[in-house]
Structure 1
Amino acid sequence: MTGRTFAARSSPWRLALLALGAAAFVFGGLLIAGMFGPSIRPGSEWIGWLCVAFFGLGGIVAVRRIFDGGDVVRISASGIYFKSWSEQTIPWSEIVDVSVWEFQRQKSIILHLRTPDRFPSTKLLGKVAGANRALTGGDIPVSLTGTDGSFEDAMTAIAHYRQRGS
C-alpha cells in the first residue's frame, strides 16, 4: 500500500495455481462425462459436462488475467475501482455501506451503492450480478482472489477513506 492508496495487481503464480486447479476439475469432469471410457458415475454425465464448462471458463479467465497488466483493485481518495466490474471508479459519495461476505474462508468486500443503476457492470461479473446480490445482499462483490493484495490492507484503506468522508 502506497501511503493510504491500496492497489492490487494480478499475481501470476496465484493465477497459475487457480488455472491448474481448474484444469484438474475439467479432467475430473471429463472422467465423469465418460470421455475416457465408461463414466465413473453412470447417470451423472451431465454433472461432468457442467464441471467442464464451469471450470473450463474459470481456467480461461485465470490464464487471461496472468497477462493482464494494471490494477485489478484500487482504493483511493477517488473511490473504489474494480476491473472485473467495469473501468469506472465508484466515488465514495455513492458508496453507502461496505460489508464483508465470507465463504469457506474466502472473503469478499461487498459494496452497497446509493444508486446501483449508475454503475452498471461492463464485464462478465455483471452477468451474474443478480445472483451475487441475492447471495451477498450487496451491489458489487470485490474479490482479491488471484491478486497480490491482502484483504486486510484493502479494508484498512476503505476504513481510512470512509472515516475521512472523501
Structure 2
Amino acid sequence: MIDTSKTLTFKSSPKQLILAMIGCDVFILLGILMGLNVFEPSLGLSESPDFLIGYIGAALFFLFSLLIMRRLLTSNGKDVITISPAGIIDTRIAASIIPWQAILNISTWEYQRQKIIVLTVDPLFEQKLSLTRMARMTRTANARLGADGLCITAAGLKTSYDELFGLIVAYRKDRR
C-alpha cells in the first residue's frame, strides 16, 4: 500500500547520465568513422552513402551529448520530480505544480523499449502552464509519434519506470 499523504522527491542519477553520455560518444565516433568512409574504403568519399549519414548522425549525437552534459551539470543532486498530495512537478517539463485534478489521463508510451509516462492534462490548464524550452520544442514531435501529452521519463533518475508510474497512478487515484 502506498502512503499518498507524503511528498516524494526523485533526484537525477549522475551514473545513468554519464552512461548515456558515453553511449552518445560511441555513436559520435561511429558516425565520424562512417563519414570518413573507414568501413568501405574501396568507395570514394563522394560515392559512399555513409558519408552524409555518418556526419549527420555524429552531429545529432553530439547535440544529445551536450544536452545530457547540461542536465548532468545543472540537475546533479537536485530534485527533478516531486510527487505530493497536491500534484506533480517535473522540472524537466515545468517549474510549477501540475495538480492531480488537471490530469485527465495517465498512460504509457513505449518507443524502442523505453517506456514514457504520458500525462494528458486539461488543455486549459496546459495553456497556462509555463513549459520549459525543451518541453515546448518536443511537445509537437512527441504528439506526432503517439505521445500526445506531457512526457515523463525515469531515465536519468534514481528510480525505475515501474515505481514512478505506480506512484503517479496511486497519487492521482486518491485525489480524484
TM-score relative to the length of structure 1: 0.86
- Inter-partner Cα distance in structure 2 for 1:47 and 1:146: 28
Checking the alignment, whether the CA contact within 8 Å between 1:6 and 1:153 is kept in structure 2 is no
Pairing 1:75–2:83 present: yes
What displacement does 1:65 show? Answer: 2.1
Superposition map of 1:94-133 within 5 A: 94-115=102-123, 116-133=126-143
Checking the alignment, whether the CA contact within 8 Å between 2:116 and 2:151 is kept in structure 1 is yes
- Gapped regions of structure 2 (runs ≥ 5): none
Give SS of 1:57's match. helix
Give SS of 2:19's match. helix
TM-score relative to the length of structure 2: 0.82
Find the structure with the greater CA-based Rg.
2
Q: For this pair of structures, how many residues does the alignment match?
A: 164
Superposition map of 1:17-96 within 5 A: 17-34=19-36, 42-67=48-73, 68=75, 69-96=77-104
What displacement does 1:54 show? Answer: 1.6
- Gapped regions of structure 1 (runs ≥ 5): none
Give SS of 2:55's match. helix
What displacement does 1:157 show? Answer: 1.7
Structure 1 residue runs of 4 or more that deviate by more than 6 Å after TM superposition:
35-38
What displacement does 1:136 show? Answer: 2.6
RMSD: 2.3
What is the match of residue 159 of structure 1?
A: 169
Amino acid at match of 2:19: L
Query: Percent of pairs identical after alignment?
Result: 28
What displacement does 1:46 show? Answer: 2.0
Checking the alignment, whether the CA contact within 8 Å between 1:8 and 1:144 is kept in structure 2 is no
Give CA-to-partner distance per residue, 1:50-97, whole Å, 9 cap, x none. Answer: 212221111112222223231122222121211211212211121100
